[in-house]
Amino acid sequence: MKPHPRPRAPAPGARRIESAARRLFASRGYSGTSMAEIAAAAGVSKATVFHHYRSKRALYEALLGDAFAGFREQLIPLLDTGRDLEASLRDFAGAHFARLTRMQGTMRLIAREMLSGTAASSDLFAGSEMSRNFSLLVEEMRRGQERGTVRADVDPGLAVFLVLAANWFLFQSSALLRRNPDMGVATSPGDYANELAHLLYHGLAPPAAPAAEDVP
């Protein structure tokens, strides 16, 4: 899996603009945020914002691009079907949930736009690096099927989706789930990652009973 270059680190002024934009996009959405509001929140002029970013879309894509590149560099290598698959799933799930928690502003920004259903948000995500990252994970699952470490009769795309979806839902509703006595595993990220990996690897069906030995 060939690594892709990370976007160039923004200048200090651009970092301040990105920080303000991230907060506003996360709370108001892409369509509900103007460049003037971003400039005011960053404490700079609107001209300064346009000096660093030619448009609101370019600024938004810079935020997304950094998040997606970080995901690709830090997380995708953890899903390695060439080694112990259960351990690989555990490491990936744990690191992904930790990243969601650590980057809450950016992740809530992404989640808001994904759930908005607007034409603008659809355009932003169509063919994006997020889709590319998903495809890279699916490709690794397919390699596992070729290696014989992943069952050949499972849908690799659904397998990846289940890991990501479980982490995203826990991230979005962790405060509520941690109060639910039936979700005690949600109180410990380590236990959660272990249990999720165990469930995905072993499934729900009980192990087959050993065949009775022939009696002479």
Mean pLDDT in consecutive groups of 10 residues from the start of the chain, 216 residues: 44 84 86 92 93 91 85 93 95 95 84 71 67 93 96 96 94 87 89 95 83 58
CB 109 within 8 A of CB 121: no
pLDDT in tens, 77-109: 999 999 999 999 999 999 999 999 988 888 887
pLDDT at 207: 79
Domains in the chain, ordered, with CATH?
A: 10-54 (1.10.10.60), 61-202 (1.10.357)
pLDDT at 103: 87
pLDDT at 162: 95
pLDDT at 12: 63
pLDDT at 125: 62
Residue 149 has what DSSP assignment? Answer: S
Nearest to 121 by CA among 29, 44, 15, 22: 29
Distance CA 159, CA 177 (A): 23
pLDDT at 2: 36
CB 89 within 8 A of CB 163: yes
pLDDT at 55: 93
pLDDT at 215: 52
Distance CA 11, CA 57 (A): 19
